[in-house]
A and B are shown apart, each in its own frame.
Chain A
């Protein structure tokens, strides 16, 4: 939903970033307003995942130039945990496994840390258990997941649901979902997309990083951006995604070059 009068939630200007000295992002401009859904598409190696990680504050990436404002404040000077507490959420393409740490303990620590930082009440284990079970229904997740180690032995689909569950708990203002559709079968895609749509409101925004049109059938974007060699080379509406699906990326990148 586009609300043109709203103040931008995220403003990215001329963002350049390197990893191990190799330039990956070469000048990205993007403005995201509350209520909007943006899809970032593009071929492998175009810099989509790097862009997500830079926004979330991954320490391996170095910002060489440009600025990023979140709710009008400089995001790049903040540590990753500060960004998360401020309301930036990254849904991982490959969520890491943490053997021995129960999902319940991890989710509660995360939830309470973020709540605390936002000046809200923390929940004790029993209260949290009620709360998280309610949220799990949204993603049709079995409560047994609470007692399992974080992501350990989860299937690809289960890991992605667990990511969206975290989004449901943390209620970010900006959710960046990196290839959330990869590894999902049709049913899981429907459930995960349903969850995201349910959580999306006029006050928050979603950036979807994806290869495929099929996710965008479920979560309909307001804008579609095509990334190529570290730049956004084309921006359009949702119909652009269909065109890309039909024609591939070549015509866009050639046109841009």
Chain B
């Protein structure tokens, strides 16, 4: 990374966040009273409070997982404040007030002008009225019966739907971080696509959260009824700063008969400085349930940020002939650590899954793929194909692959392929001897390496992701 960019990411976000909200922050520490308080502040129904408390009581019995291939100082869970009301970002009056380095990053990424303003926190009423855009968006969705709103809003407006599906994919007892999230989550997204509806546009969290902090413990629930289709985009390529170090989100997807959910993520959270100081810990539980026959859930992720990433977007293939897919690019540089992969649990007959994982490690980073392919006794005719490729840049990084395969049905077919390659001097020399400079060469090699994943991303995302990888690797080669 160039010195300029390093400066950018190492700085605390200059424009900060409003701080006069003390009254809306719960004191540090976690106990049942805190959870009751959160639930009360959010005016939640009793069943949701009970759900939170159940999760909390279970969480107390759990230990923080020690198996990931990541290292970090022990987290003091009593030293965290578990509730602060969603706070508006500080508004600036014009683009002139925005950090020029941030503008340069936007320029490099090719972020459209109106998005730059929104991302930088500029009041954009004159040029780009985000409220009206959001309204237009909502109106269009309402016409076809699609619900897309914040989680809190969903609890108030559509409690029956939330209650029916919440925790059905990731139960409150699932794992340490999921239990913690269930106990204290503050907000997130809810999305419901009714029977037979093909969502008319890609749903992007960007439109929903650009004026508010999404919070440390985000909760997302997406339900696609019979025959429904939806493509959901999370995150954006612009660097994201946050004052909270620990993030533990939970994302649940439910697909009924013949439904299809495509969930794409591009993540570029603050990764800490080049010496590994600071940076966000991203401990996420994401899982999709292919509940109905012939349903399909597809995860695509491009992970470039966070100091530590602990994330395994998974599919439970319950319905017969259901399909699970996982396409991932995880890039780590400097002292970043990523332990990421997927779980494909085949339960229904003739279920199929595809895993394509591309890990790129540079600097002194550690990048691990961890995946489970499980074929249950009843998963007659199940098939899986996995491909896990690692690319190393430089001499001080590490890449590991931990594929777990558990087959309990003889008729299943499971294939696993893995490669490791290195961007070395010879490869770059080949390009330069053809007139192509290092930066362009690296970008071309990386994009070639990630092509199978990028082709799964929505077009605009793919273009930005391509540039993002180049930007994150600036200066790490040659």
Binding site for B on A (CB under 8 A): 53, 56-60, 79-81, 83-85, 89-90, 92, 95-96, 98-101, 105-106, 109-110, 113-114, 117, 149, 166, 170
Which residue from chain B places its CB closest to the CB of A99 in the assembled complex?
A: B448
* Cβ contacts under 8 Å, A57 to chain B: 429, 432-433
Interface residue from A59, A60, A84 paired with B434 (Cβ < 8 Å): A84
Of the residues A53, A85, A90, A105, contact of B444 by C-beta under 8 Å: A105
CB-based nearest A residue for B429: A58
Residues of A near B429 (CB, < 8 A) are 53, 56-59, 80
Select which of A90, A100, A117 is within 8 A of B433 by beta carbon: A90
Whether A100 and B435, one on each chain, are in contact in the complex, defined by CB atoms closer than 8 angstroms, is: no
Tell me the nearest residue of chain A to B450, going by C-beta.
Answer: A100
Enumerate the 9 nearest inter-chain pairs by beta-carbon distance, A residue then B residue, closest first.
A100-B448, A101-B448, A80-B432, A110-B434, A84-B435, A114-B435, A81-B432, A113-B435, A96-B430
- A166–B444 contact, CB under 8 A? no
Complex Cα spacing A98 to B431, Å? 10
6 of the cross-chain contacts (CB-CB < 8 Å) are A81-B437, A84-B432, A89-B433, A96-B427, A100-B451, A114-B434
Q: Quick one: which of B443-459 are within 8 Å of A by CB?
A: 444-445, 447-452
Does B426 touch A at the CB level, under 8 Å?
yes
Contacts of B425 in A (CB 8 A): 58-60
Contacting residue for B449 out of A53, A90, A100, CB 8 A: A100
Query: Which A residues touch B440, using CB under 8 A?
Result: 109, 113
B421–A170 touching, CB < 8 Å: no
Query: With A59-B425, A100-B449 known to touch, is A84 a contact of B433 (CB < 8 Å)?
Result: yes
0/1 string, B407-447, CB within 8 A of A gives 1: 00000000000000100011101111111110010001101
Q: A58-B429, A60-B425, A96-B427 are in contact. Are A101 and B444 (CB under 8 A)?
A: yes
Instruction: Please pick, from A58, A79, A83, A101, the residue contacting B447 in the complex, using a CB distance under 8 A.
Output: A101
B302 to chain A, nearest CB (A): 15
For B427, the closest partner residue in chain A by CB is: A96
Q: Would B448 and A56 count as touching, CB distance under 8 A?
A: no
**How many angstroms between the C-alpha atoms of A109 and B437 in the bound complex?**
11
Known: A80-B432, A81-B436, A84-B435. 12 other contacts (CB 8 A): A53-B429, A57-B433, A58-B425, A59-B425, A59-B429, A90-B433, A98-B427, A99-B448, A100-B447, A100-B448, A110-B434, A117-B435
Cα–Cα, bound, A222→B429 (Å): 30
Which residue among B425, B427, B445, B449 has the maximum number of chain A CB atoms within 10 Å of its CB? B445
CB-CB under 8 A from B452, the residues of chain A are 100
* Minimum C-beta distance from A131 to chain B (A): 16
Number of interface residues of B (CB under 8 A): 23
How many angstroms from the CA of A96 to the CA of B441 in the assembled complex? 13
User: Which residues of B have CB within 8 Å of A110?
Assistant: 431, 434-436
Interface centre among B427, B430, B431, B434 (most CB of A within 10 A): B434
Within the complex, the shortest CB–CB distance from B103 to chain A, in Å, comes to: 28
Residue from A53, A85, A101 in contact with B435 in the complex, judged by beta carbons closer than 8 Å: A85
CB distance from B142 to the nearest CB of A (A): 42
Closest residue of chain B to A92 (Cβ to Cβ) is B430
Q: How far is the CB of A145 from chain B (nearest CB, A)?
A: 16
Q: How far is the CB of B172 from chain A (nearest CB, A)?
A: 42
Question: Does the CB pair A99–B449 fall under 8 Å?
Answer: yes
Q: Which residues of A contact B431 (CB under 8 A)?
A: 81, 110
Chain B residue nearest to A84 (CB atoms) is: B435
List residues of chain B with CB within 8 A of the CB of A149.
448
Most-contacted residue by chain A among B430, B440, B451 (CB, 10 A)? B430
User: Complex Cα distance A99/B435, Å?
Assistant: 19
A109's closest neighbor in chain B, by CB? B436
Q: Are B432 and A113 in contact (CB under 8 A)?
A: no
Shortest CB distance A180–B (Å): 14
Give the complex CA separation of A51 and B478 in angstroms: 22
From A91, which residue of chain B is reached at the shortest CB distance?
B433
- Return chain A residues, CB-CB under 8 Å to B430: 92, 95-96, 98
Provide the residues of chain B in CB contact with A81, threshold 8 Å. Answer: 431-433, 435-437
In angstroms, Cα B436 to Cα A101, docked, is 14
Chain A positions within 8 Å of B445 at CB level: 98, 101
B205 CB to closest chain A CB (Å) equals 29
**Bound Cα distance from A117 to B434, whole angstroms:** 12
A84 to B433, CA, bound (A): 5
CB B463 to nearest CB in A, in angstroms, measures 15
Known contacts A79-B432, A81-B432, A92-B430; A98/B437 CB under 8 A? no
Chain B's nearest CB lies how many Å from the CB of A52? 10
Docked Cα-Cα span, A106 to B430, in Å, equals 11
Which residues on the B side are within 8 Å of A170 (C-beta)?
434-435
Cα of A65 to Cα of B131 in the assembled complex, Å: 68
Query: Chain B residues near A83 (CB, 8 Å)?
Result: 433
Instruction: Report the Cα distance A24→B124, complex, angstroms.
Output: 64
- Give bound CA distance, A53 to B429, whole Å: 10
Which of B430, B435, B436, B445 has the largest count of A CB atoms less than 10 A from its CB?
B435
Q: Which residues of A contact B435 (CB under 8 A)?
A: 81, 84-85, 110, 113-114, 117, 170
